[in-house]
Amino acid sequence: MTDTYDPTRTAVLLVDPYNDFLSEGGKLWPQAKPVATDVGLLDNLRAVVAAGRQAHLQILFIPHRRWQKGDYEDWDHPSPSQRVHGQQRHIFALGTWGGEFHPDFRPADGDVIAQEHWAQSGFANTDLDFQLKQHGITHVIVIGMLANTCTTGRYAMELGYHVTLVRDATAAFEPEMMHAAHELNGPAYAHTITTTAELLQALEKGEH
């Protein structure tokens, strides 16, 4: 372990920390809760964000599009997820509690909120790459939801970033989805796949 998480070049990407995903009463929480509880998701998210701030890493919020009336209705090719979660269920609806950030994961002074993404990648059709480059970021630590469908980490690798996935600081709707995310897909693009405990130790030592 010789590389370092240089605080001037490393960012934590917190993906979709909405009430609909992370809070009791959220529309998607019943599906995520078994895996989230099993891996200790909320405590691990809190720990990574707190450690990132303690280490003076840049924190970026990577928010999904908050549904608004009319979204996707005149699109040629909305994805299955956009049809179900957007058009039918109105997940992350703008102006609703479900579309607000979880109370433990709200931006602080100095955090960056990227433009909302429409599908699975926090980079596609947003300013995320621009924001990272303007802040001198070369290494990204990806946490949040969902482990198996979010392609933010893969897209980051394609754009030349060093990518760290934190396996227990994310969740999915089924254990098999977590396995696919971290054991099958993740190794194809992530430079480091780690746990919260290992990451915290690395940040304290300045290495990974």
Q: Could you read off the pLDDT of 3-41 as tens digits, one per residue?
A: 579 999 999 999 999 999 999 999 999 999 999 999 999
3-class DSSP state of 37: helix
Mind giving me the DSSP string for 7-33?
A: TTTEEEEEE--BHHHHSTT-SSHHHHH
The token duo for 194 is 């780690």
Neighbours of 174 (CB within 10 A): 13
This prediction has a pTM of: 0.95
Residues of the chain with pLDDT under 70: 1-3, 206-208
What's the rounded Cα separation, in Å, for the pair 167 and 144? 10
Query: Any idea which residue has 């969740």 for tokens?
Result: 171
Run of H or E including 163: strand 162-171
One-letter amino acid for residue 111 of the chain: D
- pLDDT of res. 208: 46
User: What is the distance, to the nearest Å, from the Cα of residue 121 to the centroid of all Cα atoms in its chain?
Assistant: 10
